[in-house]
Amino acid sequence: MENINLIEAFAEFKEFKNIDRVTLMSVLEDILKNMLVKKYGTDENFDIIINIDKGDLEIWRNRIVVEDKELSNLSTEISLTEAKKIDDDYEVGEEVTDEVKFQDFGRRSVLSLRQNLASRILELEKDNIYNKYKDRVGQIVIGEVYQIWKKELLIVDDEGNELILPKSEQIPTDFFKKGETIKAVVIKVEMRNSTPYIILSRTSPLFLERLFENEVPEIFDGLITIKNVVRMPGERAKVAVESYDDRIDPVGACVGMKGSRIHGIVRELHNENIDVINYTNNVQLYITRALNPAKINKIEIDDANKKANVYLNPEEVSLAIGKGGLNIKLASQLTGYDIDVYREITESDEEDVKLDEFRDEIEPWILEEFKRIGCDTAKSVLELDEKELEKRTDLEIETIRDVVNILKSEFE
């Protein structure tokens, strides 16, 4: 039987890890039946025997013996004369079973069969990969960097499946080399041109949430729940947690002894600062915790508009706002309230001067840079030394000194 091409095909396709033996046999049988229908007009009187492991394939045709002059259907009937050539004992009405040789189909048909098989198996493989990862959306996967492109990384998992990590889903400080192991969360699985496209992320809050689940047994077991996660990838994150067991301190459990648990997460995220906060239904307390490390004097809540006015001592304002406004931004996202920070006026503040009054002497964009870090008056700027101002703002030290001299002259 000239089925060498099919035997080679079996050897290739039976290696697919995502396709089981029964499915592979079913696909092959379906393709063979289509070939039989094309040649003989039916597949009902054929028996197909397949052995995937050995690469064996046999097709047997069953026909009824009829008188020569009554022969009407060559596919289901065989004349008595032809039947006796096979075995002289055959009589009219008996069933003749003979093997169909592949050379009867022709080389072109056999080649077409193999191509159809390859195409169907590839489709099945793609569908299986799609379905496998569709169920893994939101889960962490580990793979190896296979190819590095400008806009994305090509990752392969332990089964050789291709995954994509776009540049936009990478932490700004991420730097990977080919062959390096990488950890990320599956955020999207879609079919593009009949090909599964599996997208990973290291910037998603879900990635941080899954890292906590892996590092903190109490979260994995459901004793501690993560209520919300917000983050600025590579810079800072805030995680609100709640314990269902009064004996368990959720923040302490997440941080671990001497930070042992959270250190692993921080390293994975390239030293991203993580604030773990005890969740509460008390909005004022929740906002107070979210703005840590700033000490708050008073909070005015507008539940209808989801707004909160926070009042602090002048020296606490910059702590509440954080570098680049990051702390207050994340606190707003975490609590769901639009937070505004205000300096409480003291007796010494009454003699203070707002920075806007210096617009004739100092360029507006420089004043905005100081206001961005919570310094909206002359004294609030002068309370910080030059090195601290340089650290918190994006201004050069010479510019800072010029501004400080102008502000000092106001009080001399």
How does pLDDT run across 128-143, given as a tens digit for each residue? 889 889 999 999 999 9
Q: For the range 48-54, what are the long-range contacts, defined as Cβ-Cβ under 8 Å and sequence gap of 24 or more?
A: 50/25, 52/10, 52/14, 52/21, 52/24, 52/25, 53/14
Structure confidence at residue 2 (pLDDT): 45
Which amino acid is located at 43 in the chain? D
Instruction: Give which of 117, 120, 109 is closest to 39, Cα–Cα.
Output: 109
Residue with tokens 């300096």: 343
Which amino acid is located at 11 in the chain? A
Judge whether residue 384 has pLDDT over 70. yes
Judge whether residue 1 has pLDDT over 50. no
Q: How far apart are CA 189 and CA 135, in angstroms?
A: 9
Average predicted confidence (pLDDT) for the chain: 85
**Residue 20: band (very low, low, confident or very high) from pLDDT cuts 50, 70, 90:** low
The pairing of strands 181-192 and 162-166 is unpaired
Structure confidence at residue 55 (pLDDT): 61
* Distance (Å) of CA 51 to CA 11, 25, 95, 107, 279: 11, 8, 25, 22, 61
Instruction: Give the mean model confidence (pLDDT) for residues 227-249.
Output: 92
Give the pTM: 0.65
Structure confidence at residue 210 (pLDDT): 95
- Window from 36-40, 145-149, 179-183, 310-314 with minimum mean pLDDT: 36-40
| Whole-number percent of the chain with pLDDT over 90 | 40
Q: Beta strands of 303-355 (E only): which ranges?
A: 307-312, 338-343
* Distance (Å) of CA 238 to CA 26, 231, 331, 332, 361: 52, 6, 8, 11, 40
Structure confidence at residue 346 (pLDDT): 58
Judge whether residue 53 has pLDDT over 70. no
Q: How far apart are CA 376 and CA 391, in angstroms?
A: 17
184-220 tens-digit pLDDT: 999 999 988 888 999 999 999 999 999 999 999 999 9
Structure confidence at residue 268 (pLDDT): 92
